[in-house]
Structure 1
């Protein structure tokens, strides 16, 4: 979580709830378009937090955390593309 943002815990919890709502919305054809666009926006919005997590992990000494934090960064882009595709094909 970037240090400039206040209320880290609350933001993390809210983003988790938003992820679950987006996932549920993608399941239903009636809400898939909105949920797809919301998912793409959410994934783009949490990307700076993922970058911060990777930077923090690199300063630590846990090789598993370093690998996971770095591996997750390039996965954001295919997930955003998939969310947009779901929105467009709804």
Structure 2
């Protein structure tokens, strides 16, 4: 039950007030696109001290790490690919009703 996914840059907001911080940060938003489910977004805060030419790549690196951590957390207790396919075969609705 694997569906392809992509990530694209959705927005860049420069020098935005960030709750709990005196300094302004860049907020970089990525759109998470996966077949069959609604799109999601992840916003990443990047300190303006990062080089101007690299701060989007820095944000992408931070997003990658967060998504990896979430993936590992979600994996706990999850079905294997084979198990989920076997279960689907047992419960999927009959076609043509």
Query: TM-score when scaled to structure 2?
Result: 0.28
Structure showing greater relative contact order (alpha-carbon pairs closer than 8 Å, 6 or more residues apart): 1
Write 1 or 2 for the structure with the bigger share of helix: 1
Write 1 or 2 for the structure with the bigger share of strand: 2
